[in-house]
Amino acid sequence: MTTSPAKAVDRQLPSEEARELLGLTRDLVQRELRPRAAGDEAEGRFPREVFRTLGEAGLLSLPYAEKHGGGDQPYEVYLQVLEELAAGWLAVGLGVSVHTLSCHALATFGTDEQRDRWLPGMLSGEQLGAYCLSEPQSGSDAAALRTRADLDGDEYVVGGTKAWITHGGHADFYSALVRTGEEGARGISCLLVPGDRPGLSAAPPERKMGMRSSPTAQLHFDGVRVSRDRLVGAEGQGFQIALAALDSGRLGIAACAVGVAQAALDLAVDHARTRRQFGRPIAEFQGLSFMLADMATRIEAGRALYLAAARRRDAGLAFSKEAAMAKLFCTDTAMQVTTDAVQVLGGYGYTQDFPAERYLREAKVLQIVEGTNQIQRLVIGRHLTKD
């Protein structure tokens, strides 16, 4: 199985600590991710132990406070780490993004007591999280969710089904959006649900086109009892919590998309430089070199877009529109670049002996998760036209 060569991206980082962190990430990618990505993807193996390794290296907690075991890194740095992980193995990069998303509710909306009690374990690497918003009948229309939680003394009793849950059945905790009140957005609340609760079960993983090492499954709540002190924020605040998390999560998907696109470009460039036809490398043919130039330009533009949004977030500025733009552009870029990479490799690109076909299959899902790209256009349009 041929793997794409790893090339260092020329990055402008804000500190020496950030440079060391990116160096550590690249080393882990080369040692722990790239050698096994293709084999595990082919077999559909979930690399749970890799997340423990990343946790021990401090890479599962980067954007959160040091006092709770976090890395205290700006999003600008965290996202570039995520990009490097996704370039090595998207299942891992996206898994880190989902874990970070699942910690967001508690870290941002939890009380000091809740954060002190649960966040260190969530950030240590020993626990892996999942984010539960979508349901079989409510995807883009998240405010229509039906999973219900009713108070019974000091416990919520939860019933319903969540769908498309990354790490479903494997996670140690779930940030679950549930209905505690009226229909619509105002009746939604957020619960931090331990993964070992009686009545909580996962369906068999979905059989997916790509990302086979990342388990995606329905999650069934059958009378699951959750203590009242695991309510994050106030009752009825869940939809606000969900939207805030998704803004940050979309930046994670944008960074992952750039990582996959970069890996595909590196593979295509390496092939174009070594593959010879008509007595010279195919990279010297103008038609192909122009294709590579367009691929590289789209990637640089996408990277600049997600970093600009991240810097707004780090500065405490509104970034919802910019996050939607980054997610939209970067994932469309990944789809285009991976398609072009297959074309550059020709027949080889269509075989499983090279990772180009895997990059193409993986890129597609990034246009769907964390809000489809059609939803991103709606978000952007509303920001442009609101009073």
Tens digits of residue pLDDT in 243-302: 999 999 999 999 999 999 999 999 999 999 999 999 999 999 999 999 999 999 999 999
pTM given for the model: 0.95
Q: Tokens in use for 210?
A: 């790509």
Per-residue confidence at 28, pLDDT binned at 50, 70, 90?
A: very high
Q: Is residue 224 scored above 80 in pLDDT?
A: yes
**φ/ψ of residue 190, rounded to 5:** -120, 130
Q: How many CB atoms lie within 10 A of CB 225?
A: 17
| Distance separating alpha carbons of residues 286 and 277, to the nearest angstrom | 13
- Tell me the average pLDDT across 70-97: 97
Q: Are 22 and 259 in contact (CB under 8 A)?
A: no
Per-residue confidence at 140, pLDDT binned at 50, 70, 90?
A: confident
Q: Which residue has the tokens 């388990």?
A: 215
Q: What are the strands, taking DSSP E only, across the chain?
A: 129-132, 148-152, 155-166, 173-179, 188-194, 200-202, 216-227, 231-232, 276-277, 280-281
| Distance separating alpha carbons of residues 52 and 318, to the nearest angstrom | 33
- Decide: helix, strand or coil at residue 345: helix
| Distance separating alpha carbons of residues 98 and 211, to the nearest angstrom | 14
Average of per-residue pLDDT values in the chain: 95
**φ/ψ of residue 226, rounded to 5:** -130, 125
Least confident of 2-16, 43-57, 323-337: 2-16
The pLDDT of residue 348 is 96
- Decide: helix, strand or coil at residue 207: coil
Q: Is residue 4 scored above 50 in pLDDT?
A: no
Q: Tokens in use for 174?
A: 């779930």
**φ/ψ of residue 366, rounded to 5:** -70, -20
Q: Is 370 a catalytic residue?
A: yes
- Decide: helix, strand or coil at residue 4: coil
Q: Is residue 2 scored above 50 in pLDDT?
A: no
Catalytic residue among 76, 83, 357, 370: 370
Q: Are 260 and 90 in contact (CB under 8 A)?
A: yes
| Distance separating alpha carbons of residues 327 and 258, to the nearest angstrom | 10
- Tell me the average pLDDT across 302-324: 97
Closest CA to 311 of 42, 144, 62, 76: 76
Q: Are 157 and 222 in contact (CB under 8 A)?
A: no
Q: Are 290 and 280 in contact (CB under 8 A)?
A: no
Name residue 148's beta-bridge partners.
159, 179
DSSP state for residue 387 in the 8-state scheme: -
Convert 132-165 to b/e letters by CB count within 10 Å (16 or more is b). bbbbeebbeebbebebbbeeeeebbbbbbbbbbb
Per-residue confidence at 6, pLDDT binned at 50, 70, 90?
A: low
Residue 204: alpha-carbon gap to chain centroid: 21
Q: Is residue 321 scored above 80 in pLDDT?
A: yes
- Decide: helix, strand or coil at residue 131: strand
What does the pLDDT look like over 178-209, one tens digit per residue?
999 999 999 999 999 999 999 999 999 999 99
